[in-house]
Structure 1
């Protein structure tokens, strides 16, 4: 058990060699496998028994993390158990930690990535975002209740075009903006059109911020390859092109990297029993908040580090523009190579749309502010023209809410509910259990190139 506790992923062959060297006797690989399985049940926890104490875990977490929401759903009572009704099988669980919910509301950004990661072990499922076909709808309903979202909320979601998720978002949030993960669109494109030129055309169409430029690049794509252009045209541009995004979320993010990184951190927790898996996630979030707090202590200025870098680049580029005032709050800003835009300081927009989409003043806006200051007009500090979601104080407020630690299992409160929770029904598939993540076509090509 000591070897398994110090290294849970130790191969059976290596464990066999260690035991034979330590005790001086031979062990069959099958005996080592069974002993390792028994040791993992003690170290990590038993898959079946953790369902039995799931209610106790819920009570402990709610008592230590205030405003934490749990929604536990069990399967129907089986016909053989209609008389006694002593047990019901687990179906799904929704968890929203109180500190995470308060921090998300404090960030002032109506933007959320949706994704899922497959669980491993004898009772596989998904760590969600969503589980199964109708559970995406169930998950989003729970999420909407926690974040105070209703059917007319102007919220923004980004996902990888899962069919069940598309239907759920469109039915529950009628006014929501639903963006598609651009990398997922490119992966689908690469099934038929693989060269780098196709990717370049896709990026040109997706990253431009004005409709006129979007139409220009789409026309260039049609001249390069008509069939690919028609395929891309079938995907509504409001889901994947910056030029058609609204400014609700103060970001034109087209990648779901936040979810991908989070899923990558959960790799070691996905094959654990249900409570151990939930604890792995809670402890990771607790550590993550502490790491961000350490970074915040080193920050200076009024804006977050990323926003500060963007503003510095825009400030440096703003010196290359000539500003003409039209007599009210509108300005003509002219640069090289027909780079000419109109800035409306009253509406706080530039027709390049970058200020509107991100909440960060573009180079054209900053050049107008410098021009106003040069002419003796009253101009506030530069950071006041940045949306509050990018302020350092907002970032600190978000991470001011913590995920609290909990006590050991022996000290958990006992649930008084007599109904026992049993694992969900599952039939093992033939063959060895797959634990590695399925690689995309781009990752496969990169690995082949390195080899």
Structure 2
């Protein structure tokens, strides 16, 4: 039952045992039994560190070109036969080759919490494919999210992608701890974008109106990638794998990546081409909007394009650019460029097919090349190669945090506001907050506590009127 449904509730297991075996068991015994069954299915958290090197060797042998880097805690006593685990980085060879074939030099960086007795952080690097879908590249399990771990992760990425300090690359993140100075030190020439949603949430603490939100979206560049959703989508697929032992967790990620490539190939086989489905949709949308625009030729490669609402821009066909900047940012001809191409066709110029003006990253052939590499399966644990390292790997240190572990994700202020507005629009009353409301006491007429928690502080004789007003005001609130 646990293997088929790991999230099976304890009460459900207790009821099934009573029905099948006619035996009454306590809920605590069911909890211990489920923990034992989970350990047998997923593996032991501590013992999996002992065979982690064997798993990494098997991964490299079956997947050619895979990069694996394992780091342990520095041990001052060199005679000890054990070393504590610190970090592990994996970049599968198929994903590395596919990312380079996809021709999109942008990566989203994010981290997620590991669960279990030895928690840490799962760092991920996710790119975009030709269909504007996610393309996971590399992942790592580190001790915590700080500048040291991010710098190590970025150095490993730089070695795989051949990035240098002067490389022109683009990173996107949610302003994680230590990530900003790490990128600034390693790749000072790279562009570092920030997720617009997190910028909005930080600034919304001071500006709460919808007018600010509308102005914020208008001032951003017309790029398709304003949010770090590519990492959020990938991390959401790994939720059920982050509570497993380390090898089971790494295998959960590898199996998802292997299955995902197969699913994308099924979608790819149905695409008519010559562009990817997303690029075809965007190009058709711009083509329909271009019928409202007219182009004037200036005798060179430049055209003056005008349309409704005084929308007028200059298109340079020699540089394949437009002053609206959408063609350069997206790689897909904007409505002004398509209107110019129509004018050139009417003038008898040879312009070719419209899709040839789209950047090659959106071509169906590029999409095929990115997913032409596959993640290979691995053998069972009994057939893994044995590591010759003389040191035995042990789990990292862990200290239990006080209180009950939290299982639900904290909702942001923007999400709470949207939820309240949704409930209010659906006819449900909007929940009011009691924050910043001062409560009055009915005994001593002081503010800051109520009559139940009053300890006889003694109110001022001249403040009865103010105390009553404060009590009434707090009660009404």
TM class by smaller structure: 0.7 to 0.9
* CA-CA distance at 1:252 after TM superposition: 4.2
- Unmatched 5+ stretches in structure 1: 207-241, 244-250
Paired with 1:31 and 1:84, the residues of 2 have a C-alpha distance of: 43
1:120–1:435 CA contact under 8 A, matched in 2:
no
* CA-CA distance at 1:442 after TM superposition: 2.5
Q: Which whole-Å deviations, capped at 9, do the CAs of 1:18-75 have from their partners, x for residues lacking one?
A: 2233222222222221111111110011111111100010011111110000000000
* SS of alignment partner, residue 278 of structure 2: helix
Point out the structure with max Rg over C-alpha. 2
Q: Which whole-Å deviations, capped at 9, do the CAs of 1:268-322 have from their partners, x for residues lacking one?
A: 1110011111111111111111111000100012111111011111111112111
Matched, 1:72 2:67: no
2:54–2:384 CA contact under 8 A, matched in 1:
yes
Paired with 2:211 and 2:313, the residues of 1 have a C-alpha distance of: 30
1:110–1:155 CA contact under 8 A, matched in 2:
yes
Paired with 2:273 and 2:37, the residues of 1 have a C-alpha distance of: 52
* CA-CA distance at 1:190 after TM superposition: 2.6
TM-score, normalised by the number of residues in structure 2: 0.82
* CA-CA distance at 1:83 after TM superposition: 6.1
1:355–1:361 CA contact under 8 A, matched in 2:
yes
* SS of alignment partner, residue 187 of structure 1: helix
- The counterpart of 1:254, out of the listed 201, 226, 231, is 226
Structure 1 residues 20 and 430: CA distance shift in structure 2, 3 A: farther
Question: Who is 1:16 aligned against?
Answer: 14
TM-score, normalised by the number of residues in structure 1: 0.87
Matched, 1:199 2:213: yes
Question: Who is 1:7 aligned against?
Answer: 5
2:170–2:191 CA contact under 8 A, matched in 1:
yes
Structure 1 residues 445 and 17: CA distance shift in structure 2, 3 A: farther
Question: Who is 2:145 aligned against?
Answer: 132
Q: Over the residues paired in the alignment, what is the CA RMSD in angstroms?
A: 1.5
Paired with 1:437 and 1:410, the residues of 2 have a C-alpha distance of: 38
* CA-CA distance at 1:439 after TM superposition: 1.7
> How many residues align structurally?
404
Q: Which has the higher contact order (CA 8 A, sep 6+)?
A: 1
Question: Who is 1:122 aligned against?
Answer: 117
- The counterpart of 2:183, out of the listed 169, 172, 175, is 169
Q: How does 1:23-422 map to 2 (within 5 A)?
A: 23-77=21-75, 82=77, 84-129=79-124, 131-133=144-146, 134-206=148-220, 242=221, 252-422=224-394
Paired with 2:327 and 2:275, the residues of 1 have a C-alpha distance of: 16
Paired with 1:172 and 1:69, the residues of 2 have a C-alpha distance of: 20
Paired with 2:247 and 2:392, the residues of 1 have a C-alpha distance of: 16
Paired with 1:421 and 1:102, the residues of 2 have a C-alpha distance of: 31
